[in-house]
Chain A
Amino acid sequence: MRWPLASRSVAVPATTPRIAFNIARPNQEQIVLLITIVLLIVFGFTLNGFATISNLLNLLRSISILGVLGLGMGLIVISRGIDLSEVATLAGSWAIGLIEMQRGMPVEAAVLLALAIALLIGVINGVMVAFVEAPPLFVTLAAGFVIYGLAFWLAPAWVVYAPKDAPGLMFAGAGRLFGIPVPILVFAVSAIAMHLFLSRTSIGRFIYAQGDNPEAARLTGIPLRPLIVLEYALVAFLAWLAGLVWVGTTGSMQMAITQGTMIFDVVLVVVIGGVSLIGGRGSVFSVVVGCVLIGTLLNAFTIMDVNSEVQNIIKGVVLLAAIVLDNFLHPRDEETARQGD
């Protein structure tokens, strides 16, 4: 299979949604953006210490892991798939990587080992979805269980700490570049790279085409199965990258996050920003906007010291409002609406 990487093909008409603001009919990501901006302004005036550079940087830093994971999830959702094993991939690959560091493997080798494990998981997921044709939701859900079990077997520790003498490993999580925390830069660079990949390369367009109508994409000659494997491998790569930031920030890896609700948050930031689960809709910008909304809420709640359950209720109500508003502005057209949305 030859992949026309980064070819600036103009033969395919642009399918990427343009970020053009239409005041009359804003789309979902613009609604979410609007809500976010309103919230930012409100919090900026009402909350002491919210609208400071350092707090805003902290806000962005706190969502960067979620953001990197969200980019991967966004990619796979655009292609009409889903990857519920993303957090497990992150935790599993790095738990094994860190435990190998503790057992004396050189840091660089262990980092590459973690990458290899993550990619292997991605490829297996992709093969299960592309070649066995099992539903992605199911495959990745089950894969999450398997990853948790196998990783715990290989790295039998509730929490694995990173070696203390590896500043390079910590840089992605704890370092600063030009005064900006590196996690933000990692997220920004990944987002830009993903945006270019999705909107400027043939493969990116293929992914949109696949999400829009897989059968039509296959009939036009897109090698669908290898493409799916590539997508899951990319998600796994981003999970690994998010893990790199994670390890750098906390200095440890905890397998328990696999069993938590983090994967819900990842799906949420993706779909709230307008990446539709039926595929082919949304963009990197949707993910970024979704992340910023969640980050803003979390940050403000922490400053206000709101009880976490109340936080969840408020968060839910805001999200529900966004969903309803979107449906109010874009009534579902029964004739063109896609099944299973």
Chain B
Amino acid sequence: MSTIEAFAESLTMSARRFSPRLLLSELLLKQWFEPVVPFTVMIGLWLYFALTIPDYASVQNTLSLLRLFAEFGFVALAMGFCLISGGIDLSVGAIFALCNFAALFFLLVMEWPVGLVVVATLLVGAALGSINGFLIGFLKTRPFLTTLVTLIILRASVNLLNTGYAQVFATNSVDSDAWDFIGTGSVLGIPVNAATLFVVLLVCHIFLSRSRYGWHLTAIGASRKAARHAGIRVRLMLFLTYVLSGALCAASGIFYAARQASTDSTTGVGWEFQALTAVVLGGISLAGGKGTVWRAMIGALIIFLLINGLVRMGIPGYVTSAVTGMILLAAVGIDVKWSKNRGKAIQKIYVNPAYVALAPAPSVQPGAASPYAQNDRLIRAQAIGLDRVEGPEDVILDRQGRVYGSTRDGNVIRFSGENFETREVFAHIGGRPLGMQFDRDENLIVAVAGMGVYGIAPDQRVFKVTDETNRTWYKLNDDSRLRMADDLDIAPDGKIYFSDCTTRYEMTTNTLDILEARPNGRVVCYDPATRTTRTIINHFYFPNGVCVSHDGKSVLIASTSLCKVFRYWIEGPKKGKTEVLIDELPGNPDNINRASDGTYWLALVGIRTPTFDLSVRKPGFRLRMVKQVPADEWLAPALNHGCVLKFNEQGEALESWWDPTGISHSTLTSMREHKGYLYLGGLENNRIGRIKLDGVDESWTGYDAYWGDKSRVAR
């Protein structure tokens, strides 16, 4: 019975976890989702023709279409490259026609072997492209005008050559298996020209998106001036772009020559505009600097399928023309509006609050018997670095008794001296340094929101520990980067356990993650032995404080949005298991640190209120709040109380320290015990607090508790 209940419970939980809006918003964020409109149009066209034209969806027809498409695909790719580089090549159709002629000429008149014909034709294409490239790249002429004129010249040359050699071509023919293979052969059942196109596309894709020169090309297209300032060889790159364009057209010409063995005044006529239409439709910007090879292909396929399909349906030419034009207009209109409003759409649907039922909140009534009862023990805390430190989220002390605070401005500040009056910037990391811990070698390891985990050597040198983890394969949202490393602790074996509290938001918007109350965070472990980083608990509700237990066998993790503390076993029989350590907390827990008596300190960043608890059970309410109410007015837990508490290994709260006024120590996020004193840090505070603890081991330091003689790890 109970298992069934548990099953039902987990089912409803996962049903609540799943949200189509969430999926959609993450989908919209993906870069590959950008050409969704042209892609849908492409699929829609294919489906339409498959339903209306008999045998359209057959394998044979698909292969035949692929064979017919490939040559245009090459030309569209050439045009795509030129557009991405910020130029245009209107001579693609003419170069294609001339290369088609050249291939036939080399084969039939010069009677060269096929291999030489292919190479020679590619060289002809590259040479023709280099004319454009020389004019545009080195003489800096304007691409549109220049290629328009080369189009006129090349086209006329093709026609003149055709009249001279048409008869020769008509009477000569070669018997070459290799040539026939280029024309009509197949690789793994795919027409050889389409297969080659696919390989070329893959190579071009990797070149454009993964190689230095591809990036240079895109950079030139996006801003020629900036690219030049960045030291990119603009002129050479542009020259090479047009050479590439010429070579691609030549490849197209070779396949066409081998397949069709025809050259006439109609070869490639109008392909420049067809290719231009195709790539713009696919989403390659005319302004340059934006586009992928796949987008060029999507556009090219749309144009190809549209004209091919309409003609095959037996529709009169003028109707084909009108329908083509209207579909193109509609597609580009929708696409423009789509890309313009995509950001807004994402913004509207990105936040997706979920239902969470919090455990009952223990009473914090002053004077109650509960260990949580409010008191004013923190009011008289001594201030360190008053107004000289910006939001020390975490504080830590080294063996020399100097206090370190991680601050908003990306610095780790160190206070030293008798009364901590000497302030120095220990190191500048950048990002938002949060949780800190000393490792065995006294390097200060810092979790930095927006950057990852970094270390500061005693000589103040900053080094990176890790900034990425393994990616969750089924997630749309790329979670390999560490978004907001929050707190960390180091196990006896040197492994660094840290929380990455959200994978959907940033440091500045992490409040939204708490409002969303979804398991977007994770606990990650860095192993210095293998220098690898692995996510050990995925889908955790805002993991915040992390503390390795005194015996070094488990990690305590605070969940801010669930108001619980968990224990994750890293050793022993329960290794790998997670269990709840403290189920009911009166507030949102933050950092956890070791106490000298074998217990733990826990900071509560906010105190739960009945309204807040209710709102957590009302996702619709929180959604409306986020959408309609300015961020300043959002319902939040009581943040103007400061509270740290102490709990033991069994998860029982022992006592608490409060600043109910919120004046000196509100939103407490961290505390460290050091030689009989407790040092307090707060996310929004302008000081580090310090109070004397009674009846504790006055020689206990954090470093010793981890790496020295105060350690309780059983050896």
Contact = CB atoms under 8 A, between A and B. Distances in A.
Does a CB–CB distance below 8 Å link A and B in the complex?
yes
Q: Which of A147, A272, A316 has the most CB of B within 10 A?
A: A316
Contacts of A316: 149-150, 152-153, 156
Interface of A: 128, 132-135, 137-139, 141-150, 152-153, 264, 267-268, 271-272, 276-277, 307, 309-313, 315-317, 319-320, 323-324, 327-328, 331-332, 334-335, 337, 339-341
Contact of B159 (A137, A309, A339): A309
A152 B318 contact: yes
Interface string B141-160: 11011101111110111011
Contacts of B86: 339-340
A134 B144 CA distance: 19
Interface string B311-354: 00000001111111110110011001100100000000000000
28 contacts: A132-B333, A133-B336, A135-B280, A135-B336, A137-B286, A142-B325, A142-B326, A144-B325, A145-B325, A148-B325, A149-B318, A149-B323, A272-B145, A309-B163, A310-B160, A313-B156, A313-B160, A315-B152, A320-B150, A320-B153, A323-B146, A323-B149, A327-B140, A334-B224, A339-B225, A340-B287, A340-B288, A341-B142
B372 to A, nearest CB: 58
A320 B131 CA distance: 11
B714 interface: no
The 5 A-B pairs with the shortest beta carbon distances in the complex, nearest first, are: A149-B322, A145-B325, A146-B325, A152-B318, A316-B153
B529 interface: no
Contacts of B286: 135, 137-138, 340
Interface of B: 86, 135, 139-142, 144-146, 148-153, 155-157, 159-160, 163, 223-225, 228, 234, 273, 276-277, 280-281, 286-288, 318-326, 328-329, 332-333, 336-337, 340
B322 A277 contact: no
A308 to B, nearest CB: 8
A167 B49 CA distance: 51
Contacts of A335: 225
Given A149-B323, A313-B157, A339-B86, A323 B142 contact: yes
Given A146-B325, A339-B288, A340-B86, A268 B148 contact: yes
Contact of A339 (B140, B148, B223, B234): B223
B332 to A, nearest CB: 5
Contact of A132 (B145, B281, B337): B337
A331 B333 CA distance: 38
Q: Which of A267, A319, A331 has the most CB of B within 10 A?
A: A319
A134 B153 contact: no
B141 A327 contact: yes
Contacts of A132: 333, 336-337
Given A309-B159, A339-B224, A319 B149 contact: yes
Contact of A141 (B234, B277, B340): B277
A267 B151 CA distance: 13
A134 B224 contact: no
Contacts of B337: 132-133
Given A311-B156, A334-B234, A339-B287, 8 more contacts: A133-B336, A138-B286, A142-B326, A146-B321, A146-B322, A327-B140, A334-B228, A340-B287
Contacts of A135: 280, 286, 332, 336
B321 A134 contact: no
A316 B148 CA distance: 9
Nearest to A313: B156
B319 A149 contact: yes
A96 B673 CA distance: 91
A149 B325 contact: yes
Contacts of A137: 276, 280, 286
Nearest to A272: B145
Contacts of A320: 135, 146, 149-150, 153
A61 to B, nearest CB: 24
Q: Which of A138, A146, A272, A334 has the most CB of B within 10 A?
A: A138
Q: Which of A147, A320, A332 has the most CB of B within 10 A?
A: A320
Contacts of B329: 128, 134, 139, 142-143, 146
Contacts of A277: 142, 144-145
A335 B163 CA distance: 47
Contacts of A152: 318, 321
Chain B contact residues, majority secondary structure? helix
Given A132-B337, A149-B321, A339-B86, A141 B140 contact: no
Contacts of B159: 309
A160 to B, nearest CB: 14
B160 A309 contact: yes
Contacts of A134: 329, 332-333, 336
A122 to B, nearest CB: 15
A317 B146 CA distance: 11
B148 A264 contact: yes
A323 B141 contact: yes
Contacts of A147: 325
A153 B142 CA distance: 39
Contacts of B326: 142, 146
A153 to B, nearest CB: 6
B707 to A, nearest CB: 58
A312 B288 CA distance: 30
Nearest to B286: A135
Contact of A148 (B149, B228, B280, B318): B318
A264 B321 CA distance: 19
A292 B576 CA distance: 84
A153 B315 CA distance: 12
B321 A312 contact: no
B216 to A, nearest CB: 16
Contacts of A142: 277, 324-326, 328-329, 332
Given A133-B336, A149-B318, A313 B153 contact: yes
A146 B319 CA distance: 9
A268 B90 CA distance: 13
A271 B141 CA distance: 12
Nearest to A278: B142
B505 to A, nearest CB: 31
B76 to A, nearest CB: 15
A224 to B, nearest CB: 16
A312 B328 contact: no
A146 B326 CA distance: 6
Given A264-B148, A323-B141, A138 B321 contact: no
A196 to B, nearest CB: 28
Contacts of B276: 137, 141
Contacts of A149: 318-325
Nearest to A156: B318
Nearest to B152: A316
A337 B224 contact: yes
A137 B277 CA distance: 9
Contacts of A268: 148-149
Nearest to A147: B325
A139 B332 CA distance: 8
A110 B139 CA distance: 51
Nearest to B162: A309
Contacts of B234: 334
Given A142-B328, A153-B318, A323 B223 contact: no
Contacts of A146: 321-322, 325-326, 329
A5 to B, nearest CB: 31
Contacts of B325: 142-149
A148 B332 contact: no
Nearest to A258: B321
A317 B142 contact: no
A138 B225 contact: no
B37 to A, nearest CB: 12
Contacts of B332: 134-135, 138-139, 142
A317 B153 contact: yes
A191 B522 CA distance: 71
Given A128-B333, A324-B141, A334 B280 contact: no
Nearest to A270: B145
